């Protein structure tokens, strides 16, 4: 479980992105909502979830929205994960040698954990594992905020369960 639930304020943080740039949650929120997707490369549910998050990223490209992964693995393993699962959205590294500072600030006990943070810093959605309804809610809220056309995130050909625990 995470202690960051809908209605709470998301803790601010700064981390290096996979490409070496500094990412600050507070700076990103000035542009609009941010979806944080915490993961471990060895997690089979993360491996299942991230291609759908990539699909969401491709459909939600807007300067007013940010989707960012937060890896609990080092850069080398994260690079392989990104390549294998087609992840092109920004990915941050929450380093083990710093005791997973950000993951612990969010009280994470499982991955994947998805947290949609509104521009004012309040959490709109907090979801652990793969929960189809939560991901659909996130997609809908991002489309509304960016005034994008709504389209189903999950296609009829996708074999998608309602829930897959992390």
Across 96-120, average pLDDT: 92
Two tokens at 84?
């294998």
Confirm if 92 and 66 have CB atoms less than 8 A apart. Answer: no
Across 130-148, average pLDDT: 91
| Residue 96's pLDDT band (cuts 50, 70, 90) | confident
| Residue 30's pLDDT band (cuts 50, 70, 90) | very high
Closest CA to 54 of 135, 119, 113, 127: 135
| Residue 151's pLDDT band (cuts 50, 70, 90) | confident
pLDDT given for residue 1 in this prediction = 55
CA separation, residue 6 to residues 57, 66, 131, 161 (Å): 22, 18, 15, 23
The reported pTM is: 0.94
The answer regarding whether domain 1-10+40-128 maps to CATH 3.40.30.10 reads yes
Q: In the chain, where are the structural domains located?
A: 1-10+40-128
Say if residue 60's pLDDT is above 60: yes
Lowest mean per-residue pLDDT among 73-87, 115-129, 150-164: 150-164
Say if residue 2's pLDDT is above 70: no
Gap between the Cα atoms of 109 and 124, Å rounded: 19
């Amino acid at each position: 479980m995470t202690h960051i639930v809908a209605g709470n304020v998301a803790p601010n943080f700064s981390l290096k992105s996979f490409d070496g740039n500094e990412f600050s949650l507070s700076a990103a929120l000035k542009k609009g909502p941010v979806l944080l997707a915490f993961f471990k490369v060895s997690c089979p549910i993360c491996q299942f979830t991230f291609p759908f998050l990539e699909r969401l990223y491709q459909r939600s490209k807007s300067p007013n929205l940010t989707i960012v992964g937060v890896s609990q693995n080092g850069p080398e393993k994260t690079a392989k994960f990104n390549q294998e699962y087609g992840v092109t959205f920004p990915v941050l590294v929450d380093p083990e040698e710093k005791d997973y500072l950000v993951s612990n600030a969010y009280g994470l006990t499982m991955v994947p954990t998805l947290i949609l943070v509104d521009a004012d810093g309040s959490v709109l959605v907090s979801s652990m594992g793969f929960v189809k309804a939560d991901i659909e809610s996130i997609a809908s809220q991002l489309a509304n905020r960016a005034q994008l056309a709504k389209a189903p995130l999950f296609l009829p050909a996708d074999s998608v369960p309602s829930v897959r625990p992390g």
